[in-house]
A = this chain, B = another copy of it.
């Protein structure tokens, strides 16, 4: 692979240097010309397999996660999400239930037999995640290289979210940190980038889906909830992501969005999720033809 560097010579921008090297040999297509498949037992993700990840932003208490888990399963979800460690901009906002949150999430897993995904924030919390099926690295930690190196020592799937200010190339390089450490089970996730447009929380970059499929064998999931920050925009963006070829979707669903402890404004109700799930299936059928 060639990199380029720009320089100025007599007042013109010139390309003056190339570096022949491979920047993401294990995340790139050269390593694996066929798409990777993540096998979670009850479902698969990637290489033609589509998975719907749903659940609340935060695990708030035992009953909440149980009831949302049952509702999203009935509505077609394949994987349950629920945050126990919450990266919050302000130190005064709800930071998650930590150990108890993971415990409640695992109870929901046992009750519904859905695989579960939850976000990790620190290298020292890893032991708590031994029964969590997918470890999520949040956008703010996409370049927390110490954490990535640690996750490279696992065998467990890692869902790696693109940072709000990070390029696709950097996302692939961060995936390379995990894979080169020994863990091939990486799922990429587009969740919106920072732009000048204030109407949405971030700008969902759906061309990332097709672009990442050109560049890498890794599956690509889209999170329309964090990207838009507005529940009204979640269904159209979820359908758009499926049409763009995403291998999965991660959608925030809450039994009572108005009283959610975090991100209520971007969560859809379980009823709306059920209707959306039906539409997604039909769009997937058109795309996979």
B-contacting residues of A (Cβ < 8 Å)? 1-2, 4-6, 8, 10-15, 18, 21-24, 28-30, 33, 87-92, 121-124, 140-141, 143-146, 149, 163-170, 173-174, 176-177, 180-181, 193-200, 203-211, 214-217, 227-228, 232-233, 236-237, 239-245, 265, 279, 282-283, 286-287, 289
- With CB as the reference atom, state the residue of chain B lying closest to A25: B92
Instruction: Assess whether A193 is in contact with B198, with CB atoms less than 8 Å apart.
Output: no
When the two chains form the complex, which single residue of B12, B30, B240 contacts A30, counting CB atoms closer than 8 Å? B12
Assembled-state Cα–Cα distance A245/B238 (Å):
11
Q: Which residue of B lies closest to A236 (CB)?
A: B210
Chain A at the B interface: SS class: mixed
Which of B88, B227, B243 contacts A283 (CB under 8 A)?
B243
Find out whether the CB atom of A176 lies under 8 angstroms from the CB atom of B233: no
User: Hey, which chain B residues are within 8 Å of A196, CB to CB?
Assistant: 165, 167, 193-196
Q: Are B30 and A15 in contact (CB under 8 A)?
A: no
Say yes or no: A180 contacts B211, CB within 8 Å.
no
Task: Known A12-B1, A15-B4, A243-B236; judge A91-B177 contact (CB<8 A).
Answer: yes
* Residue numbers in B under 8 Å from A227 (CB-CB): 207
Are the C-beta atoms of A169 and B203 separated by less than 8 Å?
Answer: no
The answer on a CB contact under 8 Å between A197 and B173 is: no
Copies in the complex: 4
Q: State A244–B215 Cα separation when bound (angstroms).
A: 25
Task: Quote the shortest CB–CB distance from A34 to chain B (angstroms).
Answer: 11
Most chain-B Cβ atoms within 10 A of its Cβ — which of A166, A170, A203, A208? A203
Q: Could you give 6 example pairs across A and B, Cβ below 8 Å?
A: A23-B90, A165-B196, A200-B207, A207-B227, A239-B243, A279-B286
A122 and B123 within 8 A (CB): yes
Contact A30 B8 (CB under 8 A): no
CA distance A88 to B12 in the complex (A): 20
A11 interface neighbour in B15, B30, B123, B265, Cβ under 8 Å: B30
Find the B residue at minimum CB distance from A232: B214
Q: In the bound complex, how far is the Cα of B243 from the Cα of A242, in angstroms?
A: 8
Q: How far is the CA of A216 from the CA of B13 in the complex (A)?
A: 11
- Separation in Å of the A177 CB from the closest CB of chain B? 5
Known: A143-B140, A237-B210. A91 touches B180 (CB 8 A): yes
Report the minimum CB–CB distance from A104 to chain B (whole Å): 21
Q: Is the CB of A90 within 8 A of B165?
A: no
Contact A145 B29, CB 8 Å, known A207-B227, A243-B242? no
Q: Provide the residues of chain B in CB contact with A200, threshold 8 Å.
A: 207, 211
Chain B residues whose C-beta falls within 8 Å of the C-beta of A173 in the assembled complex: 89-91
